[in-house]
Amino acid sequence: MPARPAQVSAPPPRFPRDAWALAALEREGLLPAYAAERLRAEAPEWVAAAVVDQGLAPADQVAVILASAARVPVANLDRVEPAAVQFLTETVARQHAALPLSATNKAIRIATANPLDYDAERALGFVAGRQVEFQYALPGPLARRLDEVYRPERSIERLVSGLGAQATIETVVEERDAGETASASVEAPAARLVDATIADAVRERASDIHFEPGESGLVIRYRVDGVMREVMRVPRSAAGAVTRRLKITAKLDISDPLHPQDGRTAARVDGKAWDLRVSSIPISRYGEKIVVRLLDPASATLKLDAIGLWPDEMAAVEGLLGNRDGIVLVTGPTGSGKTSTLYAALDRVRTTGINVVTVEDPVEYHLPGVNQIQVSEKSGLTFAAALRSVLRQDPDVVLLGEIRDLETAQTAWQAALSGHFVLSTLHTNDAAASIARLRDIGVEAFKLASALRGVLAQRLLRRLCPRCSEPVSAESLPRAARPPQGFERPVTVKAAEGCSHCGFTGYRGRFAIEEILTVDGTIAELIARGSLGDQIVESARRYGMRTLWEAGIRRVWTGETAYDEVVRVVGEPPVKAAVTAMPAAAPATEPTVPLVLVADDDPAMRTLEGAILQAEGFAVVAAEDGVAALEQAQRLQPAILLLDMDMPRLDGFGVLEALRRRLTGRSVPVIVVTAHDDPVTETRCIELGAEDYITKPIQPARLVARIRAVLRRTGVIQ
Ligand SMILES: [Zn+2]
Q: 503 CA to middle of ligand 1, Å? A: 7
Instruction: Answer for the pair 426, 402: CB distance below 8 angstroms, yes or no.
Output: yes
Quick one: the chain helix, strand, coil %, rounded to 5?
40, 20, 40
Task: Decide if pLDDT at 127 tops 50.
Answer: yes
Q: 427 CA to middle of ligand 1, Å? A: 33
Q: Report how many helices (DSSP H) and strands (DSSP E) the chain contains, helices first.
A: 26, 23
Q: 460 CA to middle of ligand 1, Å? A: 19
Q: 561 CA to middle of ligand 1, Å? A: 13
Identify the pLDDT of residue 200: 85
The neighbour count for residue 474, using CB atoms within 10 Å, is 14
Decide: residue 187, CB within 10 A, 0-12 exposed, 13-18 middle, 19+ buried. middle
Task: Decide if pLDDT at 714 tops 70.
Answer: yes
Q: 557 CA to middle of ligand 1, Å? A: 19
Backbone phi, psi, residue 90, to 5°: -60, -40
Q: 340 CA to middle of ligand 1, Å? A: 26
If you ran DSSP here, which 8-state letter would residue 74 be given? Answer: B
Q: Where is average pLDDT lowest: 145-159, 188-202, 449-463, 669-683? A: 145-159
Distance CA 191, CA 179 (A): 18
Sequence-distant (6+) residues with CB within 8 A of 512 are: 307, 308, 309, 337, 341, 458, 459, 460, 461
Per-residue pLDDT of 8-26, as tens digits, reads 555 554 688 998 999 899 8
Decide: residue 651, CB within 10 A, 0-12 exposed, 13-18 middle, 19+ buried. middle
Average pLDDT (320-331) is: 92
Distance CA 237, CA 218 (A): 9
Q: 334 CA to middle of ligand 1, Å? A: 26
Q: 234 CA to middle of ligand 1, Å? A: 28
On the question of a cis peptide bond just before residue 697, with omega within 30 degrees of 0, the verdict is yes
Instruction: Answer for the pair 329, 455: CB distance below 8 angstroms, yes or no.
Output: yes
- The percent of residues above 90 in pLDDT, for the chain, comes to 25
Q: 291 CA to middle of ligand 1, Å? A: 27
Q: 690 CA to middle of ligand 1, Å? A: 68
Q: 495 CA to middle of ligand 1, Å? A: 10
Q: 466 CA to middle of ligand 1, Å? A: 7
Identify the pLDDT of residue 301: 63
Q: 225 CA to middle of ligand 1, Å? A: 13
Q: 505 CA to middle of ligand 1, Å? A: 7
Residue, of 173 and 625, whose pLDDT is higher: 625
Q: 464 CA to middle of ligand 1, Å? A: 8
Sequence-distant (6+) residues with CB within 8 A of 436 are: 428, 532, 533
Instruction: Answer for the pair 393, 355: CB distance below 8 angstroms, yes or no.
Output: yes
Identify the pLDDT of residue 582: 34
Identify the pLDDT of residue 114: 92
Three-state SS at 97: coil
List the shell of residues around ion ligand 1, using CB closer than 5 Å: 465, 467-468, 499, 501-502
Q: 498 CA to middle of ligand 1, Å? A: 4
Q: 507 CA to middle of ligand 1, Å? A: 6
Distance CA 195, CA 187 (A): 12
Q: 205 CA to middle of ligand 1, Å? A: 14
Q: 108 CA to middle of ligand 1, Å? A: 50
Q: 268 CA to middle of ligand 1, Å? A: 27
Q: Which of 95-109, 152-166, 173-187, 473-487 has the highest mean pLDDT?
A: 95-109
Instruction: Answer for the pair 593, 618: CB distance below 8 angstroms, yes or no.
Output: yes
Alpha-carbon separation of residue 150 from 37, 96, 110, 573, 647 (angstroms): 36, 14, 15, 54, 80
Q: 198 CA to middle of ligand 1, Å? A: 23
First and final C-alpha spacing in the chain: 111
Q: 471 CA to middle of ligand 1, Å? A: 14
Three-state SS at 637: coil
Q: 572 CA to middle of ligand 1, Å? A: 26
Ordered alpha helix ranges (H), 355-444: 383-391, 406-417, 431-441
Identify the pLDDT of residue 454: 95
Q: 508 CA to middle of ligand 1, Å? A: 7
Q: 344 CA to middle of ligand 1, Å? A: 29
The neighbour count for residue 426, using CB atoms within 10 Å, is 22
Identify the pLDDT of residue 399: 92
Q: 181 CA to middle of ligand 1, Å? A: 46
Residue, of 302 and 652, whose pLDDT is higher: 652
Sequence-distant (6+) residues with CB within 8 A of 270 are: 168, 199, 202, 203
Q: 174 CA to middle of ligand 1, Å? A: 41
Identify the pLDDT of residue 589: 41
If you ran DSSP here, which 8-state letter would residue 376 be given? Answer: B
Residue, of 173 and 88, whose pLDDT is higher: 88
Q: 496 CA to middle of ligand 1, Å? A: 7
Angle at 699 between CA 695 and CA 703, to 5 degrees: 75
For 60-81, give one letter per residue: b (16+ CB within 10 A) or e: eebbebbbebbebebbebeebe
Provide the angle, in degrees to the nearest 10, between the axes of the packed helices 20-27 and 33-42: 170
Instruction: Answer for the pair 194, 207: CB distance below 8 angstroms, yes or no.
Output: no
Q: 558 CA to middle of ligand 1, Å? A: 18
pTM comes to: 0.61
Task: Categorize the per-residue pLDDT at 278 as very low, low, confident or very high, splitting at 50, 70 and 90.
Answer: very high
Q: 166 CA to middle of ligand 1, Å? A: 25
Task: Categorize the per-residue pLDDT at 403 as very low, low, confident or very high, splitting at 50, 70 and 90.
Answer: very high
Distance CA 92, CA 97 (A): 8
Q: 202 CA to middle of ligand 1, Å? A: 18
Task: Categorize the per-residue pLDDT at 587 as very low, low, confident or very high, splitting at 50, 70 and 90.
Answer: very low
Q: Where is average pLDDT lowest: 209-213, 576-580, 649-653, 662-666? A: 576-580
Q: 164 CA to middle of ligand 1, Å? A: 20
Identify the pLDDT of residue 503: 80
Distance CA 540, CA 527 (A): 12
Task: Decide if pLDDT at 1 tops 80.
Answer: no
Q: 465 CA to middle of ligand 1, Å? A: 4
Backbone phi, psi, residue 666, to 5°: -65, 125
Q: Where is average pLDDT lowest: 269-278, 415-424, 494-503, 577-586? A: 577-586
Identify the pLDDT of residue 576: 52
Task: Categorize the per-residue pLDDT at 611 as very low, low, confident or very high, splitting at 50, 70 and 90.
Answer: confident
Backbone phi, psi, residue 517, to 5°: -100, 110
Per-residue pLDDT of 203-227, as tens digits, reads 888 889 999 988 778 889 988 888 8
